[in-house]
């Protein structure tokens, strides 16, 4: 598959994004759809992590993926090709984040079949996506080892709104000045309740634990 | 030195950022000050690159650094400690970028002595900082190897407005699926005029070339 559906999403017109997000969240709950919002810096490994996670979970759940990017459709194609699940590309038209109205536009295209687990891969950005509630059931983020263990100190909001923080690329820890204990301490300083799961999306290490966490959340949402 | 001056910058009130940026740029030129705006994703190595570059150039130029972050002052302290040049921390109050008015607030604090080379380390973000002209003489960005060679396809504006793109962390190329030729092709696709310099900020490789490029630009600005 070399082509995926590309949606040019429009800026939302809603006055209150928070209200719109709460509305979307409760509509999704009624329909029995769990929506995960996955955020990170550019190049932290969101797409590879999703690929591995979807392949672990697709027998149990009907999954659909929205890949948000300013431009290009490489991620949606990767997901479609390598997992076989329904995947669409959202183009944000230069926008640095998605809000609830924009997420709804994507979901309207995605949910034409019975999907029970929808995933939004947000724009690669540690700042703006944290400021806009997408209506997701749960928020996840990836911090990768090469980015450094000090990131929770610099991007407080992102770490404080996420239910789970995946620490990716642990296979390259020997080549970077990365202190795992310090990293976890910094994450917990911003968000004591955050679940922290070290992973290597490339090899699949830790993905079982993330998939187990997701299953637990999905079941709690029904 | 464990303390640096921290400035809580205010949102700008100017109607036209472009006009304000042009005004700042020409004022700086009159004063003989070259302003470099350095941008990248979180954790691409901006501070380490600056540390190495400053140590190569500080005998020839009087350098001052503004470190922009949403929170924390670790970068300004690092620069002050490890290079000895004047360094101040700008807190953006949650803002995801700097514009010309915010940059001016920082410069007003920085330029109390004779500085001829001012550096702004922008907020770690590949999206929003590209949309706001800071008034800088030249724009530079860092893309690091772990982020992947496809980033110019996903963040078109950032790559198209930069005069120079540093490809950092080339020491870890063997551990990542990173294609240097493909990366340069992608950068040139977005911006045929961009200078591309592979570096390793940790070891100092390539920093001579970046310093030589900067000297050329500074001389051309006088």
CATH at A102: 3.40.50.300
Q: Smallest Cα–Cα separation from B198: which of B145, B157, B138, B140?
A: B145
Higher pLDDT, B69 or A163: A163
Average pLDDT, chain B: 93
Cα–Cα separations (whole angstroms), residue B188 to A90, A151, B24, B153: 25, 30, 29, 11
CA neighbor of A39 nearest in space, from A174, A147, A113, A138: A138
**A144 lies in which domain range?**
13-221
Residue A8 inside a domain? The answer is no
- Does a structural domain hold residue B8? no
Q: How many domains does chain B have?
A: 1
State whether residue B93 sits within 8 Å of chain A by CB.
Answer: no
What integer pLDDT is reported at residue A221 of this predicted model?
87
A147 CB within 8 Å of a chain B CB:
yes
Q: Does B14 touch chain A (CB under 8 A)?
A: no
Q: How close is the nearest chain B Cα to the Cα of A208, in Å?
A: 23
ipTM for the predicted complex comes to: 0.88
Q: What is the pLDDT of residue B14?
A: 66
Q: B126 to chain A: which residues are within 8 Å by CB?
A: 42, 124-125
Residues of chain A with Cβ-Cβ distance to B128 below 8 Å are: 96, 125, 127-128
Please check whether residue B6 lies inside any domain of the structure: no
Q: Enter the pTM of the model.
A: 0.92
pLDDT given for residue B13 in this prediction: 64
Residue B123 domain-assigned? yes
Query: How buried is A42 (Cβ within 10 angstroms: 0-12 exposed, 13-18 middle, 19+ buried)?
Result: buried
Rounded to an integer, the average pLDDT of B186-213 is 98
- Pick the range with the lowest mean pLDDT from A17-21, A89-93, A168-172, B102-106: A89-93
The pairing of strands A63-69 and A117-121 is parallel
Task: Record the tokens describing residue A162, joined without a space.
Answer: 């996420």
Q: What is the side-by-side order of every strand in the sheet holding A195-198? A: A5-8, A86-91, A63-69, A117-121, A34-40, A138-144, A164-168, A195-198
Residue B82 maps to a domain: yes
* Chain B contact for A41 (CB, 8 A cutoff): yes
pLDDT tens for each residue of A194-210 = 999 999 999 999 999 99
Residue A7 lies in a domain: no
Facing B43 at nearest CB: one of A146, A156, A175: A146
Mean pLDDT in residue range B132-146: 97
In a domain? residue B4: no
Grade residue A37 by pLDDT with cuts at 50, 70 and 90: very high
More confident residue, A128 or A71: A128
Q: What is the structure's pLDDT at A4?
A: 77
- Give the chain A residue whose CA is nearest to the CA of B154: A71
B2: in domain: no
- Measuring CA to CA, which residue among B181, B196, B68, B57 is closest to residue B122? B68
Average pLDDT over every residue of B157-173: 97
Instruction: Tell me the β-bridge partners of B8.
Output: B91
Closest CB to B124: pick one of A70, A154, A176: A154
pLDDT interval class at A1 (50, 70, 90): very low
Q: Identify the pLDDT of residue A12.
A: 67
Res B99 pLDDT > 80: yes
8 Å CB contact of A125 and B123: no
pLDDT at A222 over 80: no
* Chain A CB within 8 Å of residue B204 CB: no
User: Taking residues B34-52, what's their average pLDDT?
Assistant: 97
Cα distance from N-terminal residue to C-terminal residue, chain B: 33
pLDDT score recorded for residue A2 = 61
Alpha-carbon span B87 to B67, nearest angstrom: 7
Q: Which of A211, A145, A135 is nearest to A177 (CA)?
A: A145
Token pair for residue B119?
A: 């550096």
Average of per-residue pLDDT across A114-128: 94
């Amino acid at each position: 598959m070399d082509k995926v559906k590309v949606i040019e999403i429009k800026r939302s017109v809603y006055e209150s994004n928070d209200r719109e997000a709460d509305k979307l969240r409760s509509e999704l709950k009624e329909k029995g759809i769990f929506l995960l919002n996955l955020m990170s810096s550019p190049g932290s490994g969101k797409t590879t992590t999703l690929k591995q996670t979807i392949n672990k979970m697709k027998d149990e759940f009907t999954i659909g993926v929205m890949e948000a990017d300013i431009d290009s459709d490489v991620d949606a194609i990767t997901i479609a090709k390598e997992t076989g699940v329904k995947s669409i590309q959202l183009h944000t038209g230069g926008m640095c984040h998605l809000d609830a109205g924009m997420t709804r536009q994507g979901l309207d295209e995605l949910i034409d079949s019975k999907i029970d687990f929808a995933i939004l891969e947000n724009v690669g950005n540690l700042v703006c996506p944290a400021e806009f509630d997408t209506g997701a059931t749960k928020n996840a983020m990836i911090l990768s080892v090469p980015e450094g263990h000090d990131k929770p100190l610099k991007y407080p909001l992102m770490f404080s709104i996420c239910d789970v923080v995946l620490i990716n690329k642990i296979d390259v820890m020997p080549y970077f000045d990365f202190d795992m204990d310090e990293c976890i301490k910094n994450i917990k300083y911003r968000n004591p309740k955050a679940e922290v799961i070290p992973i290597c999306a490339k090899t699949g290490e830790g993905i079982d634990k993330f998939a187990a966490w997701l299953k637990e959340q999905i079941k709690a949402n029904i």
